[in-house]
Amino acid sequence: MEILAQLIVSGIALGMIYALIAFGYQLTFATSGTLNFGQGEALMLGALVGLTLVGHMSYWLMIPLVLVFGALQGIFVERVGVQPAIKTKSEFGWIMTTISLAIIFKNVAENIWGHDDITFPSPLPTEPLQFMGIRVLPMEILVVVGALAIMLAVELFNRKSIYGKAVVATSNDRDAAGLMGINTGMVITFSYALSSMTAAFAGVLVAPLTLTGATMGVVLGLKAFAVAIIGGLNSGMGVIVGGLILGIAETTTGYYVSTGYKDVPGLLLLLLVLAIKPAGMFGKSVIKKV
Amino acid sequence: MLQIQNLHAAYGKVEVLHDISLEVPKGKVVTLIGSNGAGKTTTMRAVSGMIKPSGGSISLNGKNITGLTSNKIARAGLAHSPEGRRVFATLSVTDNLLLGAFPRLTFGRERGDVQGDLARVFELFPRLKERAGQQAGTLSGGEQQMLAMGRALMLNPEVLLLDEPSMGLAPLLVNEVFRIIAELKGRGITMLLVEQFAAAALEVADYGYVLENGRIACHGPAQQLKDDPAVKAAYLGASH
Amino acid sequence: MSAVKNISIVLAIAAAAALPTLWPNPYYIHLMVVIGIYAILLLGLDIVVGYVGEVSLGHAALFGIGSYTAGVLHFQLAVPFLLAVPASILVTGLFGAILALPALRVNGPYLAMVTLAFGTIIQILINEMTFLTNGPLGLSVRKPVWFGHQVTGTDYYYIVLVALVLALFVVQRILKSHLGRAFEALHDSPIASDCMGVSVYAYKVYAFVLSAGMAGLAGSLFTYSEEYISPNTYNFELTILFLLAVIMGGRKTRTGPILGAIIVVMLPNVLSDIDLFRKISIGIAVITVMYSAYAVTARIRSIRQLVLPLIVTISLAVSGFFINDISEHRLTIFGVMILFVVYYLPNGIMGFVRGIVVRFRPQWIHRHVQILEHGDKQHVWAVPDHPVTSNGFLLEARNIVMQFGGLKALNDVNLQIKKGSVHGLIGPNGSGKSTTMNVLTGIYNPTAGEIEFNGKIITGTTPSSIAGEGIARTFQNVQLFGEMTAIENVLVGLHHTFRHSLIDVVFQTPRCRKEKNSAEVRAASLLQFVGLADLANEEARNLPYGKQRLLEIARALALNPSLLLLDEPAAGLTAPDIKELISMIEKIRSHGITVILIEHHMDVVMSICDTVTVLDFGQKIAEGTPAAVQSDEKVIEAYLGGSAKAA
């Protein structure tokens, strides 16, 4: 029983990272119906840039700089990869361009930071805390708090500021938003900036718990796909629950079955959700007007 | 105020507007009438930048707005209340209205009296005030129409484009919509109006254009069109 | 023309067969074998990417499944080559179905996301399931021994060549048949395709499974070619290479995949040889500069459009002199190539060449098969597939409510359509007429209420099955298959008359030919009926608006419907055309087809409708004969709306 509780606690931290990346998918999907197949690479770049910066400053000072970097990286992806494809209404186009940008980023990172995984110095004590026999790393708590905080911040921004409302309006009805004088192209660029920013943030949150390296993003980005589909591409609650489900499913599979198989339940769950409720567990299916 | 010259527009390869020229003078209400598929909505969409015209020119207050994106045209002072209402379903009524004034709220400073305009819109549409906090998607059709019109007014536009404001509304509400249009006219708002109820539209308008198969078939002062036997037969007596 | 084509195909095969004798180096023979194998996979991938328009990021994994099925069967059970290959095709096809069935239920990027995840999982499974696959150590396989003769590398080249030619042949036949037409139709207009009884979902799955099967074939051939397989081969990089090959070679062609295969197989060789890389990158830069100069002077593209590719190609050429180990930057180069192809060569190399040929020798390119059948009057009307069995009403809609958010577009509507009647549906804009059409044809699932058609409840089923029951429709905003010819559009409507199977298609059995011929005669007759006989081989998007509407009617009639829904057929028609339309509707009725007509032209409604239903604000406000409805107080008010006050 204690072991199960331990597995669940570890699963939660992992799940929140997935949720945060999946949240990034939702941000761009809402405004433009596109998503960045290189979201994992945005996370990886955030972590590696953070690693380099941490050599010169404290972890806490590094975070805002990484956020800025993430936002710029997102703008780059949108301008180079997504915008031209949106203009030609080509789904194939944006999928291919974001993938190719992703492999370019990965390759460049390999050439800058090398092929090997590097440890990321933890800003918090690495001694686990004990709660009723369950060991929790302080960093795991930071992951959960940090992930929730940034999602909440984005939500608040969307609800309170006029720019946030413009973002929601664009995702409701892009043409009508344009009629309000909202530069919807800019809103989409902005959503990519936000999305990559959250991914970069997820990167520096998860890095002290795992190792950093050019290949760290691929699997994380993939898991977050599963989370986004399981929870629903348009449900904020969905990604959190989906992330938790997947995170816990992985730690328990890893323990009870085999660590080699820990990535399998995610896909099975993914196929199952698509087969039963294609819009996701919490997603609303949209009736397309003809 | 609004001038359209030799406008052409196409969906894909099919040209649907051929050589449309019309003019909306300041403070006047001009209506476009014609059967379904004649190109009324397409004209509106081309003017407000929702589609790019394939030829011709459009100017607003002497400024050339041809081919600009819709957000730039809105910033130039043209508000368009689109066909089918298109309110932002997940946002509240108040947020919808504030977004109508979006160009006046950016960069951290408010231009003009946005709160005062909001109060005036609520005064014009008391129903909206009752529903201020409600999600726009849960409003009834008539309320959504009022919201769409109110939202367009929030821009303080030079010209207001109203596309089928009575669409899908119960007769009582249709009367209400026309009463509001008349009231807006009384306040000196320049309007281009597309309506399927041609008789009512000509009643409120100063001038009218008749569209047929993407061309302007005839035009004239509203009163004159109303008495024109050909127009009468084709559009006014539709159900008699 | 087709003789020239046949001769060139024979010559190409002969040249391919002669290659090993001209170039007996085993290394090159092996490369050609790999090219052939990749080409088979790419032909299949093109069905998904090019024809159906979905993105698969799982073809490397499917390729791996094919490889490992053959490998495991050989290694664990010593199954012979000729059994292992078909088994691989079946197993891989099955995996394709498991993936496609859930992932294609929703529109959007889901297939890409699911297949990407699938790729990773398959690699993990191959690594982990050591009892079957021997894990990361890989499997060793020997080429088969036939009649005491050990098959050599050169022999194997011929085996792959035969497989490739067969694959080409089969794919070509499938894509030229009604199946290929269905793939193109669903890509062009999914809604129209569903309403013509061609289920978008079913045919997308069909395409994906076919494509998976071909990946399985390629995979199993690969196992015997390499004689050793290990999990790391089937990685994400390979998927990217496959996609690069398909789009670079040229989608929707047979030559494109072969060209693409040559490029991606040669690419690693180019990248491992720095001198060769420098030469080629300089060559590309020179070509780009020359093309840019040509394009700017010929005003095909503006300088601004060309700045980016110029910078990229020139910097690629320059970077060749600063980098010593290109393979380190391999992925960057792939990435740049994909970006380049997506933006500047969207139709691939073959598409680009075709574009040039069209410019100078348009008569050489036939985008469409010309169908020159002549229609006649007796083939317009077929015996209906859907005999009317119900008594009284053909269709009954009971208490239909359709809600969008808080808005009730239809509020408790009841409709009863008499057999053999023309039933008018009128009302102001936005009153719910088109919503009614969409509910009746299954595009919307009503919030409440049920619809009984011909004695069956059809609510809750799909548009394609409703079409199959015998309800055909036209669309208010025309939904034709724009890139297909008029007659091909009608043939999509006749899809239900093709009862033969994939096997019949591949072997072109007499049954297949007979059905094809009678469908073509029928299609030509239907076009003649609506007066479009002269425009049969014209692309639908090039027809004038009014003619497009008539083509929709012909296409709907092809479904042999017992109920035909016409949504504003007179919009965009001139007065004489409208007269034609009225007599056309009369003829349709006289052949026992019940018609529901939405129309704004009152003269049309009044002259042919038996019953008229008036909708307003999502509710039925009047119903009866045209004359009765016309004098109804409520109707007058609804139509005049605001002017009631003014008057």
pLDDT digits (tens, 9 = 90+) for C504-528: 888 888 988 999 999 999 999 999 9
Nearest to B171 among C407, C644, C646 (CB): C644
Please check whether residue A177 touches B, CB under 8 A: yes
**pLDDT over 50 at B239, yes or no:** no
Q: Which residue has the tokens 């591949």?
A: C506
pLDDT digits (tens, 9 = 90+) for C315-345: 888 887 777 777 788 888 889 889 888 888 8
pLDDT digits (tens, 9 = 90+) for B3-17: 999 999 987 667 888
Task: Give the C-alpha separation, C498 to C487, whole Å.
Answer: 16
Chains that touch B (3 or more CB pairs under 8 A): A, C
Are B175 and C630 an interchain contact pair (Cβ–Cβ within 8 Å)?
no
Residue B56 DSSP SS3: strand
pLDDT digits (tens, 9 = 90+) for B80-117: 999 888 999 889 999 999 999 998 888 777 777 889 99
Nearest to B91 among A172, A182, A184 (CB): A172
Most confident option among A216-225, C214-223, C260-269, C616-625 = C214-223
What is the pLDDT, as a whole number, of residue C645?
Answer: 37
Q: Quote the mean pLDDT of chain C.
A: 88
Task: Give the C-alpha separation, C210 to C91, whole Å.
Answer: 12
Nearest to C444 among A80, A233, A287 (CB): A287
Residue B137, in any domain of the structure = no
Residue B135, in any domain of the structure = no
pLDDT digits (tens, 9 = 90+) for C148-177: 899 888 999 999 999 999 999 999 999 999
Residue B58, in any domain of the structure = yes
Please check whether residue C49 touches A, CB under 8 A: yes
What is the pLDDT, as a whole number, of residue C524?
Answer: 93
Contacts with B, C 413-432, CB within 8 Å: 428-432
The average pLDDT across A40-66 equals 94
**pLDDT over 80 at B169, yes or no:** no
Residues in B closer than 8 angstroms to C617, CB to CB, are 141, 168-170
Neighbours of C586 (CB within 10 A): 13
A143 pLDDT band (50/70/90 cuts)?
very high
Residues in C closer than 8 angstroms to A274, CB to CB, are 102-103, 105-106, 110, 114
What is the pLDDT, as a whole number, of residue C503?
Answer: 86
pLDDT digits (tens, 9 = 90+) for A65-96: 999 999 999 999 999 889 988 888 888 899 99
**pLDDT over 70 at B237, yes or no:** no
Measure in Å the smallest separation between the Cα of C406 and chain A Cα atoms.
13
pLDDT digits (tens, 9 = 90+) for B118-127: 999 999 998 8
B157 pLDDT band (50/70/90 cuts)?
very high
**pLDDT over 80 at C646, yes or no:** no
Task: Calculate Rg over the CA atoms of chain C.
Answer: 29
Please check whether residue C568 touches B, CB under 8 A: yes
Residue C635: C-alpha distances to residues C412, C444, C508, C629 (Å)? 18, 27, 58, 7
**C338: which 2 tokens?**
């994909």
Chain B interface, mutation test: which of A163, A170, A180, most B Cβ atoms within 10 Å?
A180
Contacts with A, C 100-119, CB within 8 Å: 101-103, 105-106, 108-110, 112-114, 116-118
What is the pLDDT, as a whole number, of residue A211?
Answer: 87
Contacts with C, A 48-77, CB within 8 Å: none
Task: Give the C-alpha separation, C484 to C500, whole Å.
Answer: 22
pLDDT digits (tens, 9 = 90+) for C186-209: 999 999 999 999 999 999 999 999
The average pLDDT across B196-213 equals 88
**pLDDT over 80 at C539, yes or no:** yes
Q: How many domains does chain B have?
A: 1
Please check whether residue A229 touches C, CB under 8 A: yes
**pLDDT over 70 at A181, yes or no:** yes
pLDDT digits (tens, 9 = 90+) for C7-28: 888 999 999 888 888 888 889 9
**A154: which 2 tokens?**
């984005």
CATH code (residue B81): 3.40.50.300
CB pairs below 8 Å between A and B: how many?
Answer: 73
Q: Domain range holding B181?
A: 2-87+157-236
Are A100 and C338 an interchain contact pair (Cβ–Cβ within 8 Å)?
yes
**pLDDT over 80 at A60, yes or no:** yes
**pLDDT over 60 at C532, yes or no:** yes
The average pLDDT across A31-35 equals 90
pLDDT digits (tens, 9 = 90+) for C424-435: 998 877 788 889
The average pLDDT across C347-352 equals 89
Task: Give the C-alpha separation, C424 to C431, whole Å.
Answer: 14
Residue B134, in any domain of the structure = no
What is the pLDDT, as a whole number, of residue B240?
Answer: 34
Between A36 and C378, name the one with better pLDDT.
A36
Residue B206, in any domain of the structure = yes
Task: Give the C-alpha separation, C61 to B29, whole Å.
Answer: 64
Residues in B closer than 8 angstroms to C548, CB to CB, are 14
C188, C455 contact by CB (below 8 A): no
Burial of C627 (0-12, 13-18, 19+ CB in 10 A): exposed
**A175: which 2 tokens?**
């043409």
B57 pLDDT band (50/70/90 cuts)?
very high
C478: left (phi over 0), alpha (psi -120 to 50) or beta: beta
Please check whether residue A37 touches C, CB under 8 A: yes
Please check whether residue C308 touches A, CB under 8 A: no
pLDDT digits (tens, 9 = 90+) for B23-41: 999 999 999 988 777 888 8
pTM: 0.89
A257 pLDDT band (50/70/90 cuts)?
confident
What is the pLDDT, as a whole number, of residue C572?
Answer: 67
Q: For residue C66, which of C126, C137, C151, C128 has the smallest C-alpha distance?
A: C126
Residues in C closer than 8 angstroms to B36, CB to CB, are 429, 568, 571, 600
Helices vs strands, H then E, count in chain C: 27, 14
Angle of helix C81-103 relative to helix C110-128, nearest 10 degrees, comes to: 140
pLDDT digits (tens, 9 = 90+) for C422-479: 999 988 777 888 899 999 999 999 999 999 998 889 998 999 999 999 999 999 888 9
Measure in Å the smallest separation between the Cα of C300 and chain B Cα atoms.
19
What is the pLDDT, as a whole number, of residue C20?
Answer: 86
Nearest to C406 among B16, B140, B171 (CB): B140
